[in-house]
Amino acid sequence: MKPISDIFPFLEEPKNIVITFHQKPDADAMGSGLGLYNFLIQFGHKVTVISPTNWASFLKWMPGAKKVINFETQNDKAMKALAEMQWLFCLDFNVLSRVKNMEAPIREINCTRILIDHHQQPEVAAFDYGISDTDKSSTAEMVYDFIVNSGNIKKINTDVSECLYAGVMTDTGSFRFDSTSAGVHRMVAQLKDAGLNHSQVHENLFDNFLENRFRFFGNILLNRMEIFYEYNTALIAIPQQDLIKYNVKTGDTEGIVNFPLSIKGIKLAAVIIDRGDERKSSFRSKGGFDVNTFARKYFNGGGHFNAAGGKNTETLEEVVKKFKEAIKENKEQLNS
Ligand code: 5GP
Ligand code: MN
């Protein structure tokens, strides 16, 4: 993978570009993708944003979101854009399996593949150019760096700033995580200068949920949360029947894993959700417990040191059993 700065001289030549990101995109995936989209269209490129799956309704306000193609439900349109692309930007994921059914076309179609990502152990062999930096708070921050370093700071307009702010704000836990460097705050100052209305972005992201989501939270906190004080660990295991009963939609489960992490003494919080086709897990830790390694070892996943996820094909009961055995094996680290 060659440095991303090698493509700067070619930015001005109009071309067909596709931007994609990980399945079930969060605000950083969608925000970095649409931030880059709103930047690149200013050069006259034909830019298509393709999401491997559907996305949460709280992301639909983002400038350009209405043009995003869902690979699963608009497959013909997506395949046509992929067949015509010259450049492909892959944002906010480290391994190609994170784009689900888009993996095969991405591997096979002849184009220049460019990675911008902050996850650990990226599959660098799959990319021609790119930047991977695990010290970065968010992919949105990296897209901001890409724009600034290519000499195009003046192209950061209100649309770009809203998308990038959504990514950096959510991936830093509203500027609370260690990854929130002075550079992150300088970036936000620059976005404000470019016309960002940050309180509107917070409202768009956090104040548009339906009542059912909070009834669902009430249910899982009361009935599905187990605390293992011996291991400083909390687990919420959610059966599929709960998702059906409370009409839970994509995005409604985001943030659940943070509830148990707020309990005094808890160092590891996990949520395992039976989504029907797979058991999806989310892990968060405080301090020195490495959930990236934990997710890789037991749950076919990965991510960051303090935030990771995984997926399993076994039943929910089996995955829960696996989790309980895994924390026993890691007792020493969870108690240190
Ligand atoms: P979340 O728990 O919010 O879904 O994900 C936390 C972090 O772990 C994110 O950075 C996400 O990209 C990563 N992650 C989540 N699930 C998986 C997975 O199945 N595989 C890998 N490699 N990373 C994941
Ligand atoms: Mn991210």
**Nearest atom within ligand 1 for CA of residue 92:** 12
Q: Domain end: 180, 206, 232, which one? A: 206
Structural domain boundaries, residue 161? 2-206
Residue 282 CA to residue 54 CA, distance in Å, equals: 19
Q: Domain end: 206, 223, 241, which one? A: 206
| Cβ of 24 less than 6 Å from ligand 1 | no
The pLDDT, as a whole number, for residue 336 is 86
- Tens of pLDDT, residues 49-69: 999 999 999 999 999 999 999
Cα 331 from chain centroid?
29
Give me the percent of the chain exceeding a pLDDT of 90.
99
143 with 244, same domain: the answer is no
- Mean pLDDT of the chain, nearest integer: 97
The pLDDT, as a whole number, for residue 19 is 98
Q: Nearest residue CA, atom 3 of ligand 1?
A: 282
232 with 198, same domain: the answer is no
| Ligand positioned closest to the Cα atom of 301 | 1
61 with 168, same domain: the answer is yes
174 with 310, same domain: the answer is no
The pLDDT, as a whole number, for residue 189 is 98
Between the CA of 235 and the centroid of ligand 1 the distance, in Å, is: 17
pLDDT category, 244, cuts 50, 70, 90? very high
| Cβ of 122 less than 6 Å from ligand 1 | no
CATH number of the domain residue 285 falls in? 3.10.310.30
Using DSSP's 3-state secondary structure scheme, residue 71 falls into: coil
CATH number of the domain residue 14 falls in? 3.90.1640.10
Residue 60 CA to residue 66 CA, distance in Å, equals: 7
Mean pLDDT of 237-241: 98
| Cβ of 25 less than 6 Å from ligand 1 | no
| Cβ of 304 less than 6 Å from ligand 1 | yes
- Tens of pLDDT, residues 171-212: 999 999 999 999 999 999 999 999 999 999 999 999 999 999
Residue 212 CA to residue 246 CA, distance in Å, equals: 6
The total number of residues written for the chain in this structure: 336
Q: Nearest residue CA, atom 8 of ligand 1?
A: 308
112 with 230, same domain: the answer is no
70 with 158, same domain: the answer is yes
pTM: 0.94
52 with 190, same domain: the answer is yes
- Measured CA to CA in angstroms, residue 317 lies from 58, 140, 224, 280, 321 at distances of 31, 37, 13, 13, 6
User: Which of 20, 21, 22, 53 should be mutated for ligand 1, with most atoms under 8 A from CB?
Assistant: 22
User: Looking at the predicted structure, is the pLDDT value of residue 73 above 90?
Assistant: yes
User: Which of 91, 94, 118, 119 should be mutated for ligand 1, with most atoms under 8 A from CB?
Assistant: 119
- Tens of pLDDT, residues 118-167: 999 999 999 999 999 999 999 999 999 999 999 999 999 999 999 999 99
Query: Do 273 and 253 meet the contact criterion of CB atoms below 8 Å apart?
Result: yes
Residue 186 CA to residue 243 CA, distance in Å, equals: 40
Query: Do 148 and 8 meet the contact criterion of CB atoms below 8 Å apart?
Result: no
| Cβ of 138 less than 6 Å from ligand 1 | no
55 with 190, same domain: the answer is yes
79 with 142, same domain: the answer is yes
198 with 247, same domain: the answer is no
Closest CA to 94 of 298, 283, 301, 297: 301
Q: Domain end: 206, 236, 251, which one? A: 206
The pLDDT, as a whole number, for residue 30 is 98
pLDDT category, 287, cuts 50, 70, 90? confident
DSSP calls for 130-187: EEE-TTSS-HHHHHHHHHHHTT-GGG--HHHHHHHHHHHHHHTTTTTSTT--HHHHHH
Q: Nearest residue CA, atom 19 of ligand 1?
A: 310
Q: What's the structural domain count of the chain?
A: 2
270's tokens: 């996990």
89 with 236, same domain: the answer is no
59 with 132, same domain: the answer is yes
| Ligand positioned closest to the Cα atom of 273 | 1
| Cβ of 95 less than 6 Å from ligand 1 | yes
Looking at residue 278, the DSSP 8-state letter turns out to be -
Mean pLDDT of 250-264: 95
Residue 109 sits at φ, ψ, to 5 deg, of -70, 135
